[in-house]
Protein backbone atom coordinates (compact mmCIF):
# COMPACT_ATOMS: atom_id res chain seq x y z
CA UNK A 1 0.00 0.00 0.00
CA UNK A 2 1.18 3.50 -0.83
CA UNK A 3 0.00 6.78 0.67
CA UNK A 4 0.01 9.94 -1.42
CA UNK A 5 -0.18 13.46 -0.03
CA UNK A 6 -2.49 16.05 -1.53
CA UNK A 7 -1.07 19.34 -2.71
CA UNK A 8 -2.42 22.25 -0.69
CA UNK A 9 -5.91 23.16 -1.91
CA UNK A 10 -6.09 20.08 -4.13
CA UNK A 11 -7.69 17.53 -1.78
CA UNK A 12 -10.49 15.49 -3.38
CA UNK A 13 -13.36 13.62 -1.83
CA UNK A 14 -14.16 10.01 -2.76
CA UNK A 15 -16.87 11.08 -5.25
CA UNK A 16 -14.43 13.30 -7.15
CA UNK A 17 -11.81 10.55 -7.15
CA UNK A 18 -14.39 8.07 -8.48
CA UNK A 19 -15.22 10.41 -11.38
CA UNK A 20 -11.54 10.90 -12.29
CA UNK A 21 -10.85 7.18 -12.01
CA UNK A 22 -13.73 6.42 -14.39
CA UNK A 23 -12.52 9.00 -16.91
CA UNK A 24 -8.96 7.63 -16.93
CA UNK A 25 -9.39 3.86 -16.51
CA UNK A 26 -12.82 3.49 -18.11
CA UNK A 27 -14.51 1.50 -15.39
CA UNK A 28 -14.70 1.89 -11.64
CA UNK A 29 -16.57 -0.04 -8.99
CA UNK A 30 -17.35 1.47 -5.61
CA UNK A 31 -17.73 -0.68 -2.51
CA UNK A 32 -18.30 1.51 0.51
CA UNK A 33 -15.49 4.05 0.63
CA UNK A 34 -13.12 2.07 -1.61
CA UNK A 35 -12.81 2.26 -5.37
CA UNK A 36 -11.73 -0.62 -7.62
CA UNK A 37 -10.62 -0.73 -11.23
CA UNK A 38 -8.08 -2.28 -13.59
CA UNK A 39 -6.26 -1.15 -16.70
CA UNK A 40 -3.94 -3.02 -19.10
CA UNK A 41 -0.78 -3.47 -16.97
CA UNK A 42 -2.64 -3.14 -13.66
CA UNK A 43 -4.74 -6.20 -12.90
CA UNK A 44 -6.08 -4.58 -9.74
CA UNK A 45 -6.34 -0.96 -8.61
CA UNK A 46 -7.79 -0.19 -5.19
CA UNK A 47 -7.92 3.37 -3.79
CA UNK A 48 -9.44 5.03 -0.74
CA UNK A 49 -8.87 7.98 1.57
CA UNK A 50 -6.90 7.36 4.75
CA UNK A 51 -5.83 10.02 7.25
CA UNK A 52 -6.18 12.88 4.73
CA UNK A 53 -4.10 11.00 2.16
CA UNK A 54 -4.85 8.92 -0.91
CA UNK A 55 -4.16 5.24 -0.23
CA UNK A 56 -3.58 2.92 -3.17
CA UNK A 57 -2.86 -0.73 -3.79
CA UNK A 58 -2.01 -1.90 -7.30
CA UNK A 59 -1.27 -5.34 -8.67
CA UNK A 60 0.71 -5.48 -11.93
CA UNK A 61 0.35 -8.00 -14.71
CA UNK A 62 2.58 -8.87 -17.65
CA UNK A 63 1.79 -6.88 -20.78
CA UNK A 64 3.65 -5.66 -23.85
CA UNK A 65 6.11 -2.79 -23.51
CA UNK A 66 3.67 -0.46 -25.27
CA UNK A 67 0.83 -1.35 -22.89
CA UNK A 68 3.18 -0.97 -19.91
CA UNK A 69 4.09 2.56 -21.02
CA UNK A 70 0.45 3.43 -21.60
CA UNK A 71 -0.46 2.07 -18.16
CA UNK A 72 2.28 4.10 -16.47
CA UNK A 73 1.12 7.25 -18.28
CA UNK A 74 -2.49 6.69 -17.20
CA UNK A 75 -1.48 5.95 -13.57
CA UNK A 76 0.66 9.10 -13.40
CA UNK A 77 -2.15 11.14 -14.96
CA UNK A 78 -4.60 9.75 -12.39
CA UNK A 79 -2.29 10.58 -9.46
CA UNK A 80 -1.61 14.06 -10.82
CA UNK A 81 -5.30 14.86 -11.26
CA UNK A 82 -6.16 13.54 -7.79
CA UNK A 83 -3.19 14.74 -5.70
CA UNK A 84 -1.94 17.75 -7.68
CA UNK A 85 1.64 16.43 -7.66
CA UNK A 86 3.52 15.42 -10.82
CA UNK A 87 5.52 12.18 -10.92
CA UNK A 88 8.73 14.18 -10.46
CA UNK A 89 7.30 16.00 -7.42
CA UNK A 90 6.06 12.71 -5.90
CA UNK A 91 9.49 11.13 -6.36
CA UNK A 92 11.17 14.13 -4.71
CA UNK A 93 8.76 13.97 -1.73
CA UNK A 94 9.37 10.22 -1.42
CA UNK A 95 13.17 10.61 -1.42
CA UNK A 96 12.92 13.26 1.34
CA UNK A 97 10.89 10.89 3.55
Per-domain residue ranges of the chain: 2-96
Task: List, for residues 23-64, the tens digit of each pLDDT value.
Answer: 999 999 999 999 999 999 999 999 999 989 999 999 999 999
Task: List, for residues 72-82, the tens digit of each pLDDT value.
Answer: 999 999 999 99
Task: List, for residues 1-19, the tens digit of each pLDDT value.
Answer: 999 999 998 899 999 999 9
Q: Which residue would you say has higher pLDDT here, 58 or 95?
A: 58
Q: What is the spatial distance between Cα 9 and Cα 83, in angstroms, rounded to a whole number?
A: 10
Quick check: pTM over 0.85? yes
Give CATH for domain 2-96.
Answer: 3.30.310.190
The residues, any chain, with a CB within 8 Å of residue 1's CB and separated by 6 or more, are 55, 56, 57
Amino acid sequence: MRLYDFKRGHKKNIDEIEKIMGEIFGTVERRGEKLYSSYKGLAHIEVWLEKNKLAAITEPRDVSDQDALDTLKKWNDFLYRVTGYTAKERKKKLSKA
